[in-house]
Amino acid sequence: MIKASLRGLLQRKLRLSLAVFAIVLSVAFLSGSLVLSDTLNARFTALFSTINQNVSVVVQAKDPQAVEPARLTDAQLRALSEVDGVKAFSPDVSAQGVIPFRGTDGEPVSADAALGFGVDGKDDPLGLVELREGRWPTAEGEVAITAHTAELAKVKRGDQLKVYLPVLNEPRSFTVVGVAGYSGGRDSLAGEVVVMFQQAFAQQTFYGATGLYGGASFAAEDGVSDDVLKQRIVEQLPDGFKALTGQESSEEQSAQVGVLFDVFKYILIGFAVVAGVVGVFLIFNTFNIIVAQRTRELALLRALGAGWGQVAGSVLLEALIVSLVGATVGLAAGIGVAAAGEAAITSEVALPSAGLVVAPLTVILAYLLGVVVTLVAAFVPAVRASSVPPVAAMRDVVRPDKSLTALSIVGAVFALPGIGLVLLGAFADLGGTAFLVLLGGAVLVFIGALLLSPLLARPIVRGLGALIGRGSAGNLGVRNAARNPRRTAVTAAAIIIGVTVIGMTATVVQSFKTSLEDIMGENIGVEVMIQASVTAAPDGRQGFNPKALEQVRAIPGVKEAAAWHFDALGVSVAGQPQAFGIFATDVGQAARMFPIDATDGTIRTLAAQELVLDDNIAETLKLKAGDRTPVAIGGVTRDYTVVGVYQATPIIQGILVGEAAVADFPGPLAFQGFVSLNDGVDAAPVVERIETIMKDYPGVQVGDRQSYVDQATASYDFLLIAVQILLLVALVIALLGILNTLVLSIVERTRELGLVRAVGLSRSGLVWMVTVESVLITVFGVLLGLALGVGLGAAFTKALMTLEFATVIAIPWLELGQYLLAAVVAGVLAAVIPARMAARLNVLDAISYE
């Protein structure tokens, strides 16, 4: 029995190779994702181990992100350094966002990390940083820089270097007195930019007073283990600090940095899921057709005494072997994907090499995925194979297509409540829960639609066929596509899945963009936008000094310039934390620039401890004009008076306070600036002038109205592109699935092909017949997917409209047309090989094919 199924497998290896390919893709993405993330982690661990090579214990603030993180005083540092067993120590005075400007063109140097340190004029007691030329800075106006920084900033010893200082929120100029490197002759550890200041200046600038330290690193004397030293230091540790061994610190830091690269991991896992889901359909279809074609052979086995369990087992054994082959190839391909991904990432970020890491877990998961996907997909065909009656060996047992009624009823049982939930989520005002209701409904509708798709296949394919299936060859293709609705539907399922997701995303994104553009259109009086790029939750410590707007107002043609401050860190109103933060600006001015309609109270320039908010938040917090409520900003709680409530729009929503409140913000920088111009003034030259003014603030962008819309929609475009790439993966697998089905169908219909050739159909007619069938299957899938996707997308948009995130439902016809076109092209491509196969059949052999 096993021998028979193995021999059968070899004979069908061509047909099964496509099923194997689906497994390969899925497993490759999964294992690629895991190997890449393990490999990068190993690299970061190696990096931080280098940094901490001579460090036994690190002392640092428990919460370095706090508005006022804990600092070590001179006395506390001295006490720690005198702990028994400390051989050497190095205090830490540092800040992030210390950005040098290039000596040549004055542009800020771009690097993933830009750090400033305070140094005490002596060599690094822990031996990590080494002076290469010149000396350490000893005066306020002096700096030393790493060799990598010198290269990026294009300066050398003796040159002037402009550096942006994050706490002062402005650039200063310094003389470069020294160039340093790292032990082992390295110019940088990971491509970071480092500027070293005189220690007292750094303390004053970064921490606001001399004699303060952010933490310290300690080296142990010989014979004192890291753990022992850590224990002794912990006993002396001031409040708000924690101690880690060098090893622990390396692991913690690499884990933090590794998170930044998780996006690659998730994208690859997304691909793996799509490939896996789509692969199930492809494998299911392949085994189903193979079983159908082997009916006589299976019946013979049954007639010769094989039990149904043996027959089912032989199909599952075949599936198991296929899955093992697929998983093995997929794992190898995944390691290749990871190597390519690593090469791409490390070409941007210099990291010490640690080799590719293929963890045992990766191997186990790869095989598990391959085997589970295949066996799940092959289960129904296996059961079907076992139900072949032995008599089928003697004569053709007509097994009529099972009625679609039962399947369709189950589909309707899913779809109808799903539609109900979707409508409820879209039209009932449910607030935040609307999306949960919608999501549940969408999943039900989707499952229902997949189950109903065989029922829909025949009428839709025939309807489409009437359009493209001209001529007798085309007509035959149409009938072939419609003859087995289950097969057509399962083959199209991969496309339905992919296109539904993309259609939904495209509809929501298009609606959002159109809404924004509508509002940004004529009724807003803002022509130029200034925007800080966000690398952390905005809290006033990133952006530009609002004083810079004085220079902007002086530009001819500028009518008004408004600074908007934004704090998204630890804000709460009426005791409720506000994840979307709080804005501070001149609200009266804002009302002149943006359409802000009061629904309660008045909208005007606010005094201290006054606020306005949008109607959605007012409803949630149960606030109305005249109410007093506690507002916590930057750790300070004050009572504010609600002056007005306004109608939320996609561009203006949230809680607004007056500029006086900025004093409570963690930082004084403005997050956004809006500039209106006098009538007839061209925006382009003004944008250029403002860009020059904002040059001192790294990460601040200036653009016209359109660039603001583009920026606001950029993240949605990114989402759309990510989903489109997913679609591409699904489409490639779907294409293979169609190819597979067509090849198997052609083998199955060899006699018919021979006949139509015998009665005069030309080779090109046969090619057209196969192509029509293929295109009909893809277009059927795309149309169903688009209908589902656009419908669900519109429902989600409707819910967004209730929350004022959008104003219109916009259907991206152009994109939809492109997807349809892509499907037609895919259909034609998928038909190439099967059509050639069909055309090459010898007429005589085909007619007498058994």
User: Among candidates 532, 540, 562, which has minimal Cα distance to 550?
Assistant: 562
Residue 798 φ/ψ, nearest 5 degrees = -60, -40
**For other proteins, which residue of 756, 788, 823, 831 counts as binding (CB under 8 A)?**
756
Question: Within 13 Å, how many C-alpha atoms sit on residue 375's CB side?
Answer: 14
59-63, Cβ contacts within 8 angstroms, sequence gap of 24 or more:
59/215, 59/216, 59/217, 59/218, 59/233, 59/237, 59/241, 59/242, 59/243, 60/92, 60/214, 60/215, 60/241, 60/242, 60/244, 61/214, 61/215, 61/240, 61/241, 61/242, 62/240, 62/241, 62/242, 63/240
**Residue 759 binds to other proteins (criterion: CB under 8 A):** yes
CA of 591: how far to CAs of 77, 121, 588, 604, in Å? 53, 54, 5, 8
**Residue 556 binds to other proteins (criterion: CB under 8 A):** no
**For other proteins, which residue of 183, 247, 293, 472 counts as binding (CB under 8 A)?**
472
**For other proteins, which residue of 607, 762, 813, 814 counts as binding (CB under 8 A)?**
762
Least spacing, CB of residue 492 vs other proteins, in Å: 19
Report the alpha-carbon angle 64-69-70, nearest 5.
110
**For other proteins, which residue of 321, 683, 820, 847 counts as binding (CB under 8 A)?**
847
User: Among candidates 497, 2, 18, 494, which has minimal Cα distance to 287?
Assistant: 18
Chain residues 420-439 in contact with other proteins, contact rule CB under 8 A: none
**Residue 465 binds to other proteins (criterion: CB under 8 A):** no
Question: How are strands ordered across the β-sheet holding 57-61?
Answer: 86-92, 215-220, 57-61, 241-245
**For other proteins, which residue of 60, 408, 453, 480 counts as binding (CB under 8 A)?**
480
**For other proteins, which residue of 139, 660, 758, 821 counts as binding (CB under 8 A)?**
758
Stretch that binds other proteins, among 291-299, 306-314, 758-766, 793-801 (CB under 8 A): 758-766
**For other proteins, which residue of 15, 483, 486, 604 counts as binding (CB under 8 A)?**
483
**For other proteins, which residue of 761, 788, 809, 816 counts as binding (CB under 8 A)?**
761
Size, binding site for other proteins by CB under 8 A: 27
Nearer Cβ to other proteins (330/765): 765
Stretch that binds other proteins, among 174-182, 475-483, 608-616, 721-729 (CB under 8 A): 475-483
**Residue 202 binds to other proteins (criterion: CB under 8 A):** no
Q: Quick one: how far is CA 836 from the chain centroid? A: 41
Chain residues 361-400 in contact with other proteins, contact rule CB under 8 A: 398
**Residue 763 binds to other proteins (criterion: CB under 8 A):** yes
**For other proteins, which residue of 147, 329, 473, 529 counts as binding (CB under 8 A)?**
473
User: Among candidates 707, 596, 736, 733, which has minimal Cα distance to 652?
Assistant: 596
Least spacing, CB of residue 480 vs other proteins, in Å: 6
Stretch that binds other proteins, among 197-205, 503-511, 531-539, 842-850 (CB under 8 A): 842-850
Least spacing, CB of residue 746 vs other proteins, in Å: 14
Stretch that binds other proteins, among 21-29, 402-410, 476-484, 582-590 (CB under 8 A): 476-484
Stretch that binds other proteins, among 456-464, 570-578, 581-589, 841-849 (CB under 8 A): 841-849
* DSSP-based three-state secondary structure for 220: strand
The one-letter code for the residue type at 425 is: G
Sign (positive/negative) of CA torsion 758, 761, 764, 765? negative
User: Among candidates 103, 39, 58, 32, which has minimal Cα distance to 267?
Assistant: 32
- Pairing, β 576-577 against β 598-601: unpaired
**For other proteins, which residue of 370, 543, 666, 765 counts as binding (CB under 8 A)?**
765
Nearer Cβ to other proteins (135/399): 399
Q: How far apart are CA 666 and CA 633, in angstroms?
A: 8
Site string for other proteins, 395-414 (x = CB under 8 A): ---x----------------
Nearer Cβ to other proteins (549/761): 761
Nearer Cβ to other proteins (168/758): 758
Nearer Cβ to other proteins (568/756): 756
Stretch that binds other proteins, among 492-500, 554-562, 711-719, 760-768 (CB under 8 A): 760-768
Please give the structure tokens belonging to residue 469: 């299936």
The one-letter code for the residue type at 810 is: A
Chain residues 734-753 in contact with other proteins, contact rule CB under 8 A: 751-752
Nearer Cβ to other proteins (197/768): 768
Are 566 and 540 contacting, i.e. CB atoms less than 8 angstroms apart?
yes
Please state the length of the chain: 850
Report the alpha-carbon angle 406-408-411, nearest 5.
115
Positions in the binding site for other proteins (CB under 8 A): 398, 471-473, 475-476, 479-480, 482-483, 751-752, 754-763, 765, 843-844, 847-848
